[in-house]
Structure 1
Amino acid sequence: MPTLSRPPVVPVHPFRPDAAVGNPWFTMARSEGGLVYEADLLLPHRKAYYLLVFVRHNRGRHWVDGTPYDRQDNRIYFTNPSQILVKEDPTPSWSTHLTFTNELLALEQNAVLRSLPLIQNLRHGHELVLTSADTTFVEEQLARLETEYRRPGEWQHRMLTAHLTVLLTYLSRLYAEQYPAAEPSADQRVLRAYQAKVEECFRELHEVGAYAELLHLSAGHLSEVVKAQSGKPAIKHLHERLVLEARRLLLYSPSPLKEIAFDLGFAEPSYFGRFFKRETGVTPAEYRSISRKMYQ
């Protein structure tokens, strides 16, 4: 029997390759004072790809997962496909935009990219501050990328990947400095592996035991390690991730509460309502009403 798929509760902007270049997984565009925005960028949305923007000069404000960012010069702004974005107004921008897809990261030779802190973004960051030296390095690396991007041919993909690896590795070092975390012990690696699996599977799996099975650990051992390393029970990490996504959808999506509940893997909307109130102190409807006042 065929299954019916629900439309996403927040619109997802698809990846659009540059037909003139022909690379199916990577695009690059430079703006010299133009208004860079998609037709529906001013509405809450996700992107079905990774976005990295080097802003040389721009003013304005945008929101990522309910957090406002006043754009500043010499910044890197980055998002992954899970984050929800909305821009308040299009403003003239002097910037460079890179987009790339999960298909690019899935290639065997790009395994190193998948493990970079900037790509994993376990701390849900969005902005990197650049020093003058950082800005010079980024501009030089973007120039190399642009040269290869405008030079289709047999070696283009390999050269693009090489330059992109250098750029993302450099920015990951900045990410680690600006979103610090100590060198992990064995138990800390278990915690990070659990957090990564929660990020990947929180919609489908709501029990710690299911994650323990994925990590080839006993549920008791996983719970013990996670609590010791983070100070929070393992189930709390999962509940916080569900609440974060619920907040995103309640704030940005016009979908009914029951659709949001189903999207988050709750079989009954009433259970979702009880869960959300227990975790936040307000019902989903109350949170939606309160949070949306910031846009009025």
Structure 2
Amino acid sequence: MQVIQANPAIPVLPLEPDEITGNKQFRVYNYEGNFPNPAEFLIPHRKDHYLLVFVKRGTGRHWVDMTPYVLKKNALYFLRPGQIIVKEEAKQVWSTGVAFTPEFLSLQNVSLSTLPLIQNYHNRHALQLTPADAVVVEDTLQKIRTEYLLPGEWQQRMLAAHLTVLLTYLSRLYTEQFQEDDTVTIDKQLFAQFQAKINERFQQLHEVSDYASLLNISAGHLSEVVKGQSGKPAIKHIHDRLVMEARRMLVHTNHPLKEIAFGLGFSDASYFNRFFKRETGVTPAGYRTNIRKMYH
């Protein structure tokens, strides 16, 4: 298994395409009985992608950021990129999982990244489904799996459409289950405000100090809170938002690179080019060419 080594002590596992579809941004898992990837048991690791797993029935336990979760019948477990996961041995599991990259999420025309399930303000990682909810979720997952096994021109769009329905439905359940949660601390609220401000002003403001001023706190305090809540530096959240918008513009418009750079608040197109390559590993032009081959 390929490993992205961000920290020698905690490996980061990428989303690996399967042999059937070769899709590098989206993958569906289906298990009936045998628990997947036994080599990962008791090994702390992170993932660089989102993962949703619907457990129809099964036994076992896993840990997310040092919080244990016992597998339950008709439960939905969800993970964000970068969280530390430890799996314990399980006997039998019947489940369906959907994995997708932040890039896949950001390329959709709707704001999926702002949904409650994705933001996860309450820092929960499991939803208990009623029998009726389980039927809806299982049916949607089956539609996703069917489309996933039919590669073609419309596959990415259809996967995105079904995923939009699934995430929206689960976000409603998330809000209903945790609306009375009293664990939303001041730090969590500040982190949510910081993310909201980024979405409002990322085209104009690129520095942590700018957002600290908007929130009437010091840059040092903001950085400390954001790192504690997300595990990522505050500046990384700003950069990720800029990259997300750049990707959208590169895919969904024919704007010249210079125009995209200026629209994102970069006064120099060459700096934007260096910034994008540093954050993604490819140039804006190279990204536009490669991603359009996938989507068109």
**Which interval holds the TM-score relative to the shorter structure?**
0.5 to 0.7
Distance 1:189 1:122 in 2: 8
* Residues 12 and 196 of structure 1, relative CA distance in 2, 3 Å threshold: farther
Distance 2:19 2:197 in 1: 35
Number of residue pairs matched by the alignment: 217
Instruction: Write the mapping of 1:150-165 to structure 2, written as runs, cut at 5 A.
Output: 150-165=149-164
Q: Answer yes or no: is 1:66 the counterpart of 2:66.
A: yes
Corresponding position of 1:192: 192
Q: Normalised by the size of structure 2, how large is the TM-score?
A: 0.64
Deviations 1:131-190 (A, max 9, x none): 1110010011011111111111111111111011100110011111122279xxxxx998
* Residues 103 and 243 of structure 1, relative CA distance in 2, 3 Å threshold: closer
Secondary structure class of the residue paired with 1:193: helix
Q: Is the 8 A contact 1:50 1:101 kept in 2?
A: yes
Q: Percent identity?
A: 46
Q: Is the 8 A contact 2:12 2:82 kept in 1?
A: no
Distance 1:24 1:110 in 2: 20
Distance 2:137 2:6 in 1: 41
Instruction: Write the mapping of 1:58-207 to structure 2, written as runs, cut at 5 A.
Output: 58-107=58-107, 109-180=108-179, 192-194=192-194
Distance 2:158 2:123 in 1: 29
Q: Is the 8 A contact 1:222 1:234 kept in 2?
A: no
Deviation at 1:264, TM superposition (A): 7.4
Distance 1:103 1:170 in 2: 21
Distance 2:52 2:99 in 1: 6
* Residues 133 and 234 of structure 1, relative CA distance in 2, 3 Å threshold: farther
Distance 1:64 1:129 in 2: 17
Deviation at 1:24, TM superposition (A): 1.8
* Residues 19 and 197 of structure 1, relative CA distance in 2, 3 Å threshold: farther
Distance 2:97 2:35 in 1: 13
Deviation at 1:128, TM superposition (A): 0.6
* Residues 85 and 190 of structure 1, relative CA distance in 2, 3 Å threshold: closer
* Residues 196 and 67 of structure 1, relative CA distance in 2, 3 Å threshold: farther
Deviation at 1:197, TM superposition (A): 7.6
Q: Answer yes or no: is 1:222 the counterpart of 2:221.
A: no
Q: Is the 8 A contact 2:50 2:100 kept in 1?
A: yes
Q: Which residue identity does 1:163 align to in structure 2?
A: H
Q: Is the 8 A contact 1:55 1:72 kept in 2?
A: yes
Greater RCO (CA < 8 Å, at least 6 residues apart): 1
Q: Answer yes or no: is 1:35 the counterpart of 2:32.
A: no
Corresponding position of 2:47: 47
* Residues 140 and 88 of structure 1, relative CA distance in 2, 3 Å threshold: same
Deviation at 1:23, TM superposition (A): 1.9
Deviations 1:65-93 (A, max 9, x none): 11111111100000011211101213311
Distance 1:174 1:144 in 2: 20
Q: 1:211 aligns with which of 194, 208, 213?
A: 208
Deviation at 1:60, TM superposition (A): 1.3
* Residues 35 and 164 of structure 1, relative CA distance in 2, 3 Å threshold: same
Deviation at 1:97, TM superposition (A): 1.0
Corresponding position of 1:276: none
Structure 1 segments of 4+ aligned residues over 6 angstroms from their partners: 188-191, 233-237
* Residues 111 and 211 of structure 1, relative CA distance in 2, 3 Å threshold: farther
Distance 1:196 1:8 in 2: 33
Gaps of 5+ in 2: 182-187, 199-206, 235-296
- Alignment RMSD: 3.3
* Residues 41 and 16 of structure 1, relative CA distance in 2, 3 Å threshold: farther
Distance 1:43 1:147 in 2: 32
Q: Is the 8 A contact 2:191 2:226 kept in 1?
A: no
Distance 2:157 2:6 in 1: 38
